[in-house]
Amino acid sequence: MFNGFLEDLVNNLIKLPGIGSKTAQRLAIYLISKEKADAINLAESIKDAVQSYKNCSICNMLSEKDPCRFCEDTTRITNVLCVVENTQDAYLIENLHEFKGRYFVLNELLSPLDGIGPDEINFPKLEKIINSDNVDEIILALNPSAEGESTINFLASQFEDKDIKITRLSTGLPFGGDIEYTSSLTLSNAFKRRYSVSE
């Protein structure tokens, strides 16, 4: 339907999560029909954010600073570590104002069929933190999906011989669901009612 630069724009918009072909076409037309300065400002904002953000060398969270603001905060509880899949999940939990510990971002969930193993989920870095820091509890705040369950079981098995409490979010979160689309109340209740992985 489209060609040239407009086709390129549509094809790049389709790569965004939740954006289908028709939505990408509408967005592309909207962007080129608006004030040129507005579209260019958007492009510059995307460029600046992409170039400025990097993974925290301690917890893997995307941040403009290294270490990130959570790792840098000396008021946070250091003996409780919340393991999440991505930076957005950490911010969703942080917005509940329930958790005052530290985070670790895996960036992926185990999926052998897709070639995602322990190295791809940054397990060596997580293991180093667990071994070197005085961690009493690991909260596995991962999506209740097949990949999430596989990752939870793997991580629990790796640390079961240590004197560490390993908990997960309550399964009030629906299996196959996504933390991103869970209401704050459901997520808050699931976080409060987390339970031991070994139970």
SS3 111: strand
Give the pLDDT score at 26. 95
pLDDT < 70 regions, the chain: 1, 171-175, 185, 189, 199
**184 part of a folded domain:** yes
Asked if residue 47 and residue 10 are part of one domain, the reply reads: yes
Residues 132 and 176 in one domain: yes
Please check whether residue 138 lies inside any domain of the structure.
yes
pLDDT at 38: 92
Give a yes or no: residue 63 inside a domain: no
- Quote the pLDDT of residue 199: 60
Predicted confidence at residue 195, as pLDDT, reads 72
What are 33-48's pLDDT values in tens digits? 989 999 999 999 999 9
pTM of the complete model? 0.80
Residues 92, 48 share a domain: no
Q: Is residue 41 domain-shared with residue 82, that is, in the same domain? A: no
| Axis-axis angle for helices 87-94, 184-192 (nearest 10) | 90
Torsion, Cα 129 133 98 196, to 10 degrees, reads: 80
φ, ψ for residue 102, nearest 5 deg? -105, 165
Q: Are residues 44 and 82 in the same domain?
A: no
Does residue 91 share a domain with residue 150? yes
155 and 89 co-located in one domain = yes
Task: Assess whether 114 and 24 both reside in one domain.
Answer: no
Cβ count within 10 A of residue 197 = 18
Q: What percent of the chain has pLDDT over 90?
A: 72
Nearest to 39 by CA among 50, 28, 49: 28
Q: 92 and 37 in one domain?
A: no
pLDDT at 33: 93
Could you tell me if residue 60 is inside a domain?
A: no
Q: Are residues 28 and 125 in the same domain?
A: no
Q: Where in the sequence is the domain holding 23, given as residue range(s)?
A: 4-52
Number of domains in the chain: 2
Q: What is the CATH number of the domain that holds 119?
A: 3.40.1360.10
Q: Looking at the structure, do residues 164 and 97 belong to the same domain, yes or no?
A: yes
Q: What CATH code is carried by the domain that includes residue 20? A: 1.10.8.420
